[in-house]
Amino acid sequence: MIPTARTWIEQAQSITILTGAGVSAESGIPTFRGDGGLWRNYRAEDLATPEAFARDPNLVWEWYGWRRELIAKAEPNAGHHAIARLQRRVRNCTLITQNVDGLHDRAGSFGILKIHGDIWRLRCTACGSEWPDHRVPLPKIPPRCQCGGLARPGVVWFGEDLPPGVWRSAVDAASSSDVFLVAGTSAVVYPAASLIPHAKSGGARVIEANPDETPATRAADLSIRGRSGEVLPQLVTTG
């Protein structure tokens, strides 16, 4: 399967990549649904909501502060670097990620469609301003905007819509690609998982790289079992 997938990638004029939490997990970042998905006996699904933030912004920010500290200590892995190499080699190569940790940026990827937002950006709940903030730890929890309003993490919470412009670009990229590469995602979170049918309807060959079978496996033209940090470097030729 590896040689066939490599050939498809080498011959493709347009490639779209979708990455999920499994790619970040290989850098030591806990996933929502894995064994590390609990924090102080709270599930992520109970904290990453507008309702949780309205109820107890301090608690939510303590959790995000903990996550930011974990991420700050992590390093991009071989999977992140393989994707960055592919982007440099293929002119029309779009990276879509469900991850909010910024490890793709640190590996050298660019033009990333972050459909679930970015943990290193803050957004004011009063005036709507957004700004980057990489300080770890943040000097004050919860942080405030210059206008005095309460700031929230610049991520998409459960129950919120994806950024419309980013999502439209993601659908367009998936629908117009020759190869759609899915790496490290459980393919159960929607609407991100719907990008696979979009790619298929546009005629793309779908390659899945994941340690376990997922709902995407049946739709994939090739499904390669393995960690993204092991599989992706084999799919991307040096250059």
Tokens of 58: 């301090």
Catalytic amino acids?
116
Provide the b/e sequence for 7-44 (b: ≥16 CB within 10 Å). ebbeebebbbbbbbbbbbbbbebbbeeeeeeeeeeeeb
Alpha helices in 2-131 (DSSP H): 2-11, 21-25, 44-47, 50-55, 57-73, 78-89, 103-107
> End-to-end CA distance of the chain, in Å?
22
| SS3 label, residue 89 | helix
**Cα(120)–Cα(142) distance, integer angstroms:** 14
Contact 202, 230 (CB under 8 A): no
